[in-house]
Structures are given as C-alpha cells and as structure tokens.
Amino acid sequence: MEGNKVYRHEQNPEEKRFHDEFIRIHGHDNTLSAIVFAPAEGGLRPSEYLTEREEKILLSAMQWLGSPLGQSFLREMGYEKKPEKFMTDNNRSYVAKRCRNTTGWKYRGEVFQDKIIEMECKRIGFTKEEFFAADGKFLNKILKK
C-alpha cells in the first residue's frame, strides 16, 4: 500500500514518517475500512470495505498531516511536535547570562524578566517552560549572579 504523493517523501521527511507509520499501524487486515465504516452486526469487521482508491485517499490525508501545512493545522488545534533537542543546564546558563546582560534586568520585575527569558529561549530554539523545567536552586543561582 502506498499513498498518492510518495514523490514528496525525499523533500519532506515528516510526511514520509506520517505515511509510513500510518501504514505500519493500520495498513493490514482491513483496519483502514474499520476506521471509516461502522462495524458489521455482531462483530468487529467493518460493514463495508474501502476501495483501493479510497485507501490511497485516506493514506494521502494522513501524509498531509506531516506536511508543513498539515503541521500548521495541528499546531492551531493545539498539537505540536515535541522538540528533538532538550534544554541542558549549559543552555540555561547561556540564556541566563544573556538575560542578566540586558539593560535594566536587575531593576525590572519578574514579568519583564520572564519576557526576556522567553525571547532568549526562543532565539535558540527552546521555550520558556523548558528553561524553567529545572532545579529551582540552580535557576536562582544562574539568574542572580
């Protein structure tokens, strides 16, 4: 089984991942038909079966979720791919140093400081939440140097 736009896989590895994983999970024993159609009376079998063309359409829709547009749709719905890199204490120290060097850092409130932390984290590909997901004593130490 293969979707309609596998030519996109080389340029869009996330589309390939969605395509291949959907096939791995649902591409056997008519499980695609079971996703679409109600079960037959008294059983788990689907009441109808998808045609080969319909299976390709369904698989192409799943592949689309891995495309940049599909990923944007998922983000708007509240689903976001987990970051592939994790923030280390070295990353946190770097962010804290840049923040402490910001004009007015010592004299501004926490709201201002949080905005600066968020901006610096975003600049290097992390979130403010990832920054604060660390030991509190360590954070106090690096932020108050």
Per-residue pLDDT tens digits for 32-77: 888 888 888 878 788 899 898 998 899 899 999 988 889 889 999 9
Query: How many C-beta atoms surround the C-beta of residue 106 within 10 A?
Result: 9
* pTM beyond 0.85: no
Q: What confidence category does residue 83 fall into, taking pLDDT thresholds of 50, 70 and 90?
A: low
Q: What confidence category does residue 91 fall into, taking pLDDT thresholds of 50, 70 and 90?
A: very high
* C-alpha torsion sign, points 54, 60, 62, 65: negative
**Domain positions in the chain:** 6-76, 89-143
